[in-house]
A and B are shown apart, each in its own frame.
Chain A
């Protein structure tokens, strides 16, 4: 099973700043198998990025994904108040899906 490790565990920033969230895989994976989700309290997760860098329908362009092999990044530029949430990366490999443990983005 591929393990995904997200860092940092939590991040405190102010609206207008940029956030950089990391997701590291225990072994190399194809970009098409890496996705990012946002989850707000009491809500279901929402797909943000798939294929490591493609934005899902309706996702603002301040959200961007990058990376390859074992290191992937979600960047949120110009943070809006509604962006403060928990973010998860997810991969598919060896016939199983795994999620990272999440990064909590908090308002400073």
Chain B
């Protein structure tokens, strides 16, 4: 059974960057399509980007293009997601999730708070 464990909560100043990790167990990272989804407090779910399930390329949501970078370390089965130039609108729970055409399972989430 696949299990995803994310890094801990972060507090960042506006303009800073944040990098979140997602450790995969029970499966090899190279064999799955990792996606990232975020959810601002009290709001809905927003897909940020991830590995295209059909062509294996990393695809980013248009809204976040240029500010988000997703990488993978297959030697440690750990995925990373970095967001730069943070603003208060980036305050959210960030989830890694395994996704082909649907998302399952999900990591436990990482709260990123952007505040001056």
Q: Which of A50, A51, A88 has the most CB atoms of chain B within a 10 A radius of its CB? A: A50
- In the complex the two chains form, is B104's CB within 8 Å of A96's CB? no
- In the complex the two chains form, is B45's CB within 8 Å of A44's CB? no
Q: How far is the CB of B40 from chain A (nearest CB, A)?
A: 13
Q: What's the Cα separation between A1 and B46 when bound, in Å?
A: 13
Question: Using Cβ atoms and an 8 Å threshold, which residues of chain A touch B46?
Answer: 99
Q: Which residues, 31 to 47 on B, are CB-close (under 8 Å) to A?
A: 35, 44-47
Question: Using Cβ atoms and an 8 Å threshold, which residues of chain B touch A46?
Answer: 106
Question: Using Cβ atoms and an 8 Å threshold, which residues of chain A touch B59?
Answer: 95-96
Chain B contact patch, size range: 20 to 34
A75 at the interface (CB under 8 A from B): no
Question: Using Cβ atoms and an 8 Å threshold, which residues of chain B touch A50?
Answer: 101-102, 104
Q: How far is the CB of A94 from chain B (nearest CB, A)?
A: 10
Q: Which of A32, A35, A92, A102 has the most CB atoms of chain B within a 10 A radius of its CB? A: A92
- In the complex the two chains form, is A90's CB within 8 Å of B102's CB? yes
Q: What's the Cα separation between A40 and B88 when bound, in Å?
A: 25
B62 at the interface (CB under 8 A from A): yes
Q: What's the Cα separation between A1 and B47 when bound, in Å?
A: 12
- In the complex the two chains form, is A92's CB within 8 Å of B101's CB? yes
Supposing A44-B106, A45-B106, A96-B61 touch, asked if A88 and B101 sit within 8 A by C-beta, the answer is no
- Which A residues are closer than 8 A to B by beta carbons? 1, 32-33, 35, 37, 44-47, 50-51, 56, 88, 90, 92, 95-102
A50-B104, A97-B47, A101-B44 known; 4 new pairs, CB 8 Å cut-off, are: A35-B102, A46-B106, A51-B101, A51-B102
Could you pull out 18 A-B pairs where Cβ atoms are within 8 angstroms? A35-B102, A37-B103, A45-B45, A45-B103, A47-B102, A47-B103, A50-B102, A51-B101, A88-B45, A92-B53, A92-B102, A95-B59, A96-B47, A96-B59, A97-B35, A97-B99, A99-B44, A100-B44
